[in-house]
Structure 1
């Protein structure tokens, strides 16, 4: 049975469950069936920075997500489908980027997205009977694995995840591996997700009201296959960049920095992360050269800092700084054995959080640039305004640099190509650029649709949200690249 047949069967099962939703929750007072409806307009120019034709997005998408929930005693279950139809390749889910394919002719097209598709968004069962604490539960299935800062975990993935949340203690322990994207338009997993097992956990202790100290651990065992030829390395999207084992260890202090309801006069965040492990790579100089397979010891680090001053209940002002080490080759260990000091993230991150002090989750490294903590440092200044529970807005300024000005970076928002025989990123130059973000949200009656709209229905909510970023490339990019790049989203979300 093919992967798409499995997805089709799952969609059929989901439709059956939705039609029989009341049966699942016969003994539960909770609402058991509903629909999330989202309309997104996306306008983008030019992610290639003028180095290639295309790279623009302009269109509207409708995203319908029917769901069913059931509970019986300590057991519960949840199932959500997704149907998307759009006029262009539109990103309707900020934590699951939906990117237009590159304008290349000879390449693997197995992960080219369609304008319309069906998907299994979430499906899990949950058990709350392991301990007497109400904030403890064990969840199995495709679910959102999440941490508030967004730089470790924030993704939907198949997982066994145990969570504990009490007044003084928060804990998490789990294992996850992605087996499918459960979308009708994707034929394969991404190379980074294929045969990649994740083991993760964390612990936080509240040593004073609003002040937490804790740690996180994440281990990746990547047991996939390296590319077997030059052609596969260049043109096959399923070619893995590396295999092996990596371990992240992080220590942090949190002064309610990601809690937009905090009433503390000052909120803070500080985290130091170490990365260690051993990976294997395969390199082909050209189509006629045999593969050069070598091992690489990884020893890297990253720091993430944030400080926010709550001027009053409405206005907030803050700054943030992040840096991921970027030495691509920290020293030779033999002919086929190198060491690297270049930091990479866990692969389960979204880099989105409520770091500005409002409810809306914003990309920590720019709504347009969308950098990662790999060979990059970013300094940010921001202010936010929340006059009441109806309106909120954030204005953020970012400045980006390369740590090692001869090594690559990782960005999911900007992807220039070599231009006129010049590399997209020029050696010896570190200035990546700067960005200004504006994010505004309007919640209807604190998230409840006005009475004139709801036609007597209850438990409805709605919001309108603008997310926008204007990026100005620095001199590290090719001299003939565009001088600006922007990305704008307008979302209307209706839950009923």
Structure 2
């Protein structure tokens, strides 16, 4: 698969290069014209990233002779175009070509899948801003990266239609979405748990006092397929649970907590969330028939953070976070909190420009049935470089339950709620200005996970994940 994927990627690179040359020539021609005409190319660039990726065994040494350790090299290309189609219409197209020497995880960008090569349509949307005289109001539809600051609700590419309202004191959006496909050549169809789910979403962020914000967010997911559609996938394995009808709501207060340009001496974040509705547990009988056990869902979660700025220039911060997500499960009811399925759990929560995994680079658990304490310190000049050091401690909220992770495979022994601890180091240098050929962005993300007693006595003492990225924008 790697050979075919790499050959195909080389072909796509040639095509994208030709498109880029043509687009640049078109831009120069239009800029020389006295009268601006439409459509007009506003921006074109390609971001190339070379990555060195080293990972320890995802099975934590619990299956001797079947290790998943890996040391790989990956190349990632993302060309994008932005057009002004008319006075009120704008459009964006972003593609991706990815290739690696072996199977690697791409959870830092596209949600927890292993691959060695693919082509992808990341974004392709149209935006119309002629609804009113407000310059920050528009309607957008197509495939877009839907994202909010924490990364714990939305941070994924999805097909949508949404209304956007962006002013000095109030930001708001509302819309509908459906993950029709991953739009990747290596993923022929969505996982069963993501198929045929319609979503409605909304968020509003109000600046009630200078640099102090209140944010409210809601998401609803509704499955519109029937049991026969689910049964058709039984031969490929079924997920432990599927969404029937779930609603998430969250309220958050902060004082520009994710703004790395901030000069505030003390910053806070307080977030509470709940999910309610219905889901189903799926099993197959010995005769191959689908068995469905419906469950009522009622879960909750909270995340509280406090950060102090010790020095202003360069900015040196220290902070602590406490997060909890409910667990608990019975045959007909689940008290476990679960996330929306659109999250990345990556954000700038350390007060720097660096995007950091909220629950550890080498662990990356789902925010469900989890208690964690995080302490961190960071140093940055805000724009050009940043250094982040994090420590995480983990426990099961309900010892009888479990926690899923993109990077850790084994289950638990049921004799302890101690999941373990981890240490992360994330360094970033942002020197690429897009003009000079010898300027680059360099990022190091390193994490070590130390499994706790919940994984049993046979688990390895430590598991690492280290990623070194060198990126350039052309």
From the superposition, tell whether residues 296 and 93 of structure 1 become closer, same or farther in structure 2 (CA, over 3 Å): closer
Q: How does 1:49-448 map to 2 (within 5 A)?
A: 49-52=60-63, 53-71=66-84, 72-91=86-105, 94-97=108-111, 99-100=113-114, 113=115, 115-226=116-227, 233=234, 236-237=236-237, 241-284=241-284, 287=286, 292-313=291-312, 314-329=315-330, 338-387=332-381, 389-416=383-410, 424-444=411-431, 447-448=432-433
Structure 1 unmatched ranges of 5 or more: 1-7, 101-112, 333-337, 417-423, 455-460
Hey, what does 2:3 align to over in structure 1? none
SS in 2 for 1:372: coil
Tell me the equivalent position of 1:37.
48
Q: d(CA) in 2 for partners of 1:386 and 1:229?
A: 50
Contact 1:398 1:435 survives alignment (8 Å)? yes
How many aligned residue pairs are there?
449
How far the C-alpha of 1:203 sits from its partner, in A, is 1.1
Distance 1:289 1:99, change over 3 A: closer
**Contact preservation (8 Å) 2:327, 2:398:** yes
Q: What is the RMSD computed on CA atoms of the aligned residues?
A: 2.7
Inter-partner Cα distance in structure 2 for 1:300 and 1:221? 17
TM-score by length of 2: 0.88
Partners of 1:78 and 1:173 lie apart in 2 by 20
The 3 A distance-change label for structure 1 pair 240 and 405 is: closer
The alignment partner of 2:110 has SS state of coil
Relative to structure 1, the CA distance from residue 401 to residue 32 in structure 2 (aligned partners, 3 Å threshold; closer, same or farther) is same
Q: Is the 8 A contact 2:261 2:382 kept in 1?
A: no
| Residue 31 (structure 1) shift | 4.1
Give the TM-score normalised by the residue count of structure 1: 0.84
In 2, Cα distance between equivalents of 1:481 and 1:317? 32
Question: Aligned equivalents of 1:257 and 1:207: distance in 2?
Answer: 15
Q: Distance in 2 between matches of 1:240 and 1:357?
A: 37
Structure 2 gaps of 5+ residues are 1-8, 31-35
Answer yes or no: is the 8 Å Cα contact 1:191–1:240 preserved in 2. Answer: no
Is contact 1:42-1:91 (8 Å) kept? no
Asked if the contact 1:21/1:69 (under 8 Å) is kept, the reply is: no
Give the match for residue 4 of structure 2: none
| Compared CA separation, residues 24 and 153, structure 1 to 2 (3 A) | farther
Aligned equivalent of 2:6 = none
The separation in 2 between residues aligned to 1:30 and 1:262, in whole angstroms, is: 34
Aligned to 2:33: none
Summarize the Cα distance change of 1:226–1:408 in structure 2 as closer, same or farther, 3 Å threshold: farther
**Structure 1 CA distance for aligned equivalents of residues 443 and 241 of structure 2:** 37
Q: Is the 8 A contact 2:27 2:41 kept in 1?
A: no
Taking structure 1 as reference, are residues 153 and 486 closer, same or farther at Cα in structure 2, changes over 3 Å only? Answer: same
Q: CA deviation at 1:36?
A: 0.9
Q: CA deviation at 1:201?
A: 0.4
Measure the CA separation in 2 of the matches of 1:19 and 1:174. Answer: 36
